[in-house]
């Protein structure tokens, strides 16, 4: 990604707001977006959650889910050994089946990026390294610190940056501050060779309080240059609910219809079973279309989901459930 294209979202927003991005212009736009019909949203999410898929399609769905997982460890007690163990699992999810797909990425704190890159070796690129940044999970730091956090992770080899927005600023109506921070972080994602790490913008929907705020924050993040919009840090409850993910998918669908640009969505936190993950896949297909059923446009942020999906995959292959000791303990 070149410097010019990295700034394209800001140029796009400037055109939308007649050349001036301010709290007033952003408020006029964001608060002019029609309100969310909460009852209708939740009913549609519930209906999509009851859809079943044929047994012949389930194997493909399970492999798709595995390919979309950002295998994650984000604990204060993380060690290089734990990160290497996580990478080993990403490289070989099922030691008994060489045909098992690999996850899309491993997601770690910025100071663990170099360890993850080293552990991946030649597979780095085939499996991405995602790093949380900008004072994750609270986002409570100066912009200078947030940008340094991002730049350090990119310099260490991160392919993707998962940033958090300043929820306090957003809820206070300081939309321009949130917009400018996303633009600045996107700029900090650039590498010396002119390419750029992909930027996922975490909304922390559990702290935004209303569906209207989730819709506005989604539009704001996309206007500022997000490659993905992500529900949660996984540290706040509720995290990735189906109604919230549906709402965010509707925003990226509407953005695509408006601009022709595809933006990704990443639900994170609380998705632990293949049954739940399949509900999200159905919601993606029904809302944005099957073009979004790819790791380039949809991810699951998860640590324990992979184990359940692997057990379900083994069940389809053998006809019986394996015990939990047939998968590694994270």
| Number of domains the chain is built from | 1
Number of continuous H segments (helices) and E segments (strands) in the chain: 14, 8
Q: Exactly one of 94, 149, 159, 162 is catalytic; which is it?
A: 162
Let me know if residue 326 belongs to a domain.
no
pLDDT tens-digit series, residues 41-61 = 999 999 999 988 887 789 999
- Asked if the structure places residue 328 within a domain, the reply is no
Domain for residue 284, yes or no? yes
Residue with tokens 């506005």: 216
Lowest model confidence (mean pLDDT) among 51-60, 82-91, 154-163, 193-202:
51-60
Rg of the chain taking only CA atoms, in angstroms: 19
- 40 CB-contact burial (10 Å; exposed 0-12 / middle 13-18 / buried 19+): exposed
Does residue 265 belong to any structural domain of this protein?
Answer: yes
pLDDT for residue 329: 63
CATH number at residue 104: 3.20.20.70
Say if 324 falls within a structural domain.
no
Q: What is the mean pLDDT of residues 189-203?
A: 96
Is residue 58 part of the annotated active site? The answer reads: no
Between CA 120 and CA 189 the distance in angstroms is 21
Enumerate the β-bridge partners of residue 198: 160
Q: Which two tokens stand for residue 261?
A: 């640009």
Q: 281-315: per-residue pLDDT in tens?
A: 999 999 999 999 999 999 999 989 999 999 999 99
Among 146, 200, 266, 279, the one annotated catalytic: 266
Q: Quick one: 258 exposed, middle or buried, by C-beta within 10 A (0-12, 13-18, 19+)?
A: exposed
Mean pLDDT score, 150-156: 98
Q: For residue 34, is it within any domain?
A: yes
Q: What is the pTM of this model?
A: 0.94
Known active-site residue 230: yes
Tell me, yes or no, whether 329 lies in a domain: no
Residue 299 lies in a domain: yes
Q: Is the pLDDT of residue 325 over 70?
A: no
| Active-site hit among 230, 276, 279, 308 | 230
Q: What is the pLDDT of residues 2-44, one digit of tens each?
A: 344 444 555 666 677 776 788 998 999 999 999 999 999 999 9
Domain that includes residue 70, residue range: 3-319
């Amino acid at each position: 990604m070149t410097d010019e294209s990295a700034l394209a979202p800001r140029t796009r927003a400037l055109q939308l707001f007649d050349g001036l991005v301010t709290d007033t212009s952003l408020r006029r736009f964001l608060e002019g977006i029609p309100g969310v019909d909460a009852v209708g949203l939740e009913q549609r999410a519930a209906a999509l959650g009851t859809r079943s898929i044929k047994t012949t399609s389930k194997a493909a769905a399970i492999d798709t889910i595995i390919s979309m997982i950002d295998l994650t460890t984000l604990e204060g007690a993380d060690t290089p050994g734990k990160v290497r163990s996580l990478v080993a699992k990403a490289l070989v999810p099922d030691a008994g089946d060489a045909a098992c797909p690999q996850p899309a990425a491993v997601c770690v704190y910025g100071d663990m990026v170099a360890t993850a890159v080293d552990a991946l070796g030649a597979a780095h690129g085939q499996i991405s390294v995602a790093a949380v940044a900008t004072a994750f999970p609270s986002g409570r730091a100066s912009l200078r610190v947030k940008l340094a956090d991002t730049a350090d992770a990119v310099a260490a080899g991160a392919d993707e940056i998962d940033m958090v927005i300043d929820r306090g600023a957003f809820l206070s109506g300081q939309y321009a501050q949130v917009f400018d921070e996303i633009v600045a972080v996107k700029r900090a994602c650039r590498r010396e060779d002119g390419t750029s790490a992909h930027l996922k913008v975490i909304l922390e929907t559990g702290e935004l309080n209303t569906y209207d705020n989730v819709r506005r924050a989604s539009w704001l993040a996309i206007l500022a240059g997000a490659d993905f919009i992500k529900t949660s840090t996984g540290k706040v409850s509720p995290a990735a609910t189906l109604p919230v993910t549906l709402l965010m998918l509707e925003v990226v669908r509407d953005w695509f219809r408006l601009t022709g640009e595809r933006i990704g969505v990443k639900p994170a936190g609380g998705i632990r079973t293949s049954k739940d993950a399949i509900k999200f896949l159905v919601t993606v297909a029904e809302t944005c279309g099957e073009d979004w059923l790819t790791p380039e446009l949809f991810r699951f942020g998860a640590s324990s989901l992979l184990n359940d999906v692997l057990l379900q995959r083994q069940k389809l292959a053998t006809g019986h459930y394996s015990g939990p000791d047939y998968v590694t303990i994270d």
